[in-house]
Amino acid sequence: MRLSGLLAIPPDAVSNAHLKTAFECLSMSQSEAKATLEKLKASPVFGHVWQNRLQQLQQAI
């Protein structure tokens, strides 16, 4: 997945904390990133708005 795909997300769709965490996932180990993404998917706003993007990010890891 390209970084530009993550940047295409509307700014009001998710908080800065979620964005920061998503970008940190890119530098984590595979198991750390998957665990973090599972936690984020449990967040109602993040999970709903980013469902497709989370799946793409998981596939890229």
Cα R_g (the chain), whole angstroms: 10
13-58 pLDDT, tens digit each = 556 666 666 667 677 777 887 787 777 777 766 656 666 777 777 7
Tokens of 43: 């967040």
Residue 6 lies in a domain: no
Question: Structural domain tally of the chain?
Answer: 1
Tell whether 5 is covered by a domain: no
> How far is it, in rounded angstroms, from Cα 41 to Cα 59?
15
Does 43 map to a domain? yes
Interatomic CA distance for residues 61 and 17, integer angstroms: 20
Domain of 42? 15-60
Report residue 1's pLDDT band, with 50, 70 and 90 as the boundaries.
very low
Give the long-range contacts of residues 7-11, CB within 8 A, separation 24 or more.
Answer: 9/49, 9/50, 9/53
